[in-house]
Amino acid sequence: IFNRLDQNSGPAFGGIDGLADITVPTSITYQPWSIHVEQQNHGEPPQTVDMRVVSGSIGAVGAIYELTVSVDTGIYQSGVSEPTSLTIRARDTTGIIQWGYGPNGFFPLWMFDGMPLPASGGPIATADQRTRIMNDYGGDIGSYLAATGDPMTGQGSHYYSMPLVEVESWSIQIGSTYAGGGTGGVLFFDNLTETYNDSAKYIVSNGYAWTEFSVQLPDTDQGMLIAVTGQQDVGNLYYAMLGGAGSSQSGNGTLQPTANWPQGAIHITPDPTSTWTSPHSCYVYELSYAVKLDASASRPAADLVFNATAQDQELNALGRAVYEGLFSYSGTLDGNAVSGYAWGEIQGRPPAGHPTPPNC
């Protein structure tokens, strides 16, 4: 995603879609670590994504990575795509954080209430997890998982991040035009792995939505993940985690969060006066959110406000309009003033009457 925010013309977006080693050839090497992903359609040049460690070792503080990408990108509904090349060299300052629970960071994205899912092929039975999580474990999913051993099969992912990767150099070319470059910036790098069973396929295909902020805290060498996910048959699930400096190491070498807020302690509220209607899809989005995280003996309080830094950051991801882009934030964390940037992912809603562009 490449967005010239000062032009407010929307992001150029592209990528590689498919299943690793099934529909998209993927190779990984070790010592030094590298990954190569390639896709080629008949009669078209190959599209590639490469990432490699050039100094240090993967996941270690101070490791230096090079990322090179060659894919076609296009602006939403422009009908035009162009070959795009991106090169980045960057140094990790925190190490890899696992946001989930247990030795491999399992990260639940929804919980069941015992009602069957009304799938077209017949009802899918579920167990009541929500009542136990909320009533017996105070909304703490990690405590529920540790006590019950519930595998929550197909209900989540393994989610890892490097929230503060300092860019040493970068450049991007779109078509035959040099689009930009420089020697600064900070990346928030995610690695997300999911598996899907029948219940998961039903949920993600029937109105599953999320609002998420990936927050950078460079002054304290930390990152945060704050979100709410939801779907009409399973309700909402909230998560908020803090990690980085001060984190302990998991058995797999990644860092565990230093704070993890339970369900009832997370409050994410859109500002109804901040709505924006996309001229590309007619979807309506709120571009400002207030986040409050309640304190306890083991976690700090947070009071933050997130604002989109530009209006037009909507893109079409696999045929679905979503809002993904840069937000600024300010507020307090553990009583201290904080401010900076976050990556926001927002789901819009179709407008009343179902108008179509350009008559939104």
The 3-state secondary structure of 191-257 reads EEEECCCHHHHHHHCCCCEEEEEEEEEHHHCEEEEEEEEEECCCEEEEEEEEEECCCCECCCCCECC
Q: Is 355 inside a domain boundary?
A: no
pLDDT > 70: percent of the chain? 100
**Rg value, the chain, Cα:** 21
Give the pairing of strands 284-286 and 97-98. unpaired
What does the pLDDT read at residue 358? Answer: 87
Q: Is 351 inside a domain boundary?
A: no
Sign, CA dihedral 68-1-190-202, equals: negative
What does the pLDDT read at residue 293? Answer: 99
pLDDT > 90: percent of the chain? 82
What is the per-residue pLDDT across 237-256, written as a single tens digit (0 to 9) for each?
A: 999 999 999 999 888 889 99
Q: Is 70 inside a domain boundary?
A: yes
What does the pLDDT read at residue 20? Answer: 85
Q: Is 200 inside a domain boundary?
A: yes
Q: State how many domains the chain has.
A: 1
- pTM for the whole structure: 0.94
Q: Is 52 inside a domain boundary?
A: yes
Q: Is 104 inside a domain boundary?
A: yes
What is the per-residue pLDDT across 183-237, written as a single tens digit (0 to 9) for each?
A: 999 999 999 888 889 999 999 999 999 999 999 999 999 999 999 999 999 999 9
What is the per-residue pLDDT across 39-98, written as a single tens digit (0 to 9) for each?
A: 988 888 899 999 999 999 999 999 999 999 999 999 877 778 899 999 999 999 999 999
Specify whether the CB–CB gap between 132 and 163 falls below 8 A.
Answer: no
Tokens matching residue 60: 């270690």
**HSE-up (13 A, CA, CB side) for residue 126:** 27
Q: Is 358 inside a domain boundary?
A: no
Q: Mean pLDDT across the stretch 316-333? A: 92
* Residue range of the domain that includes 307: 5-346
Cis peptide before 103 (omega within 30 of 0): no
What does the pLDDT read at residue 170? Answer: 98
Q: What is the mean pLDDT of the chain?
A: 94
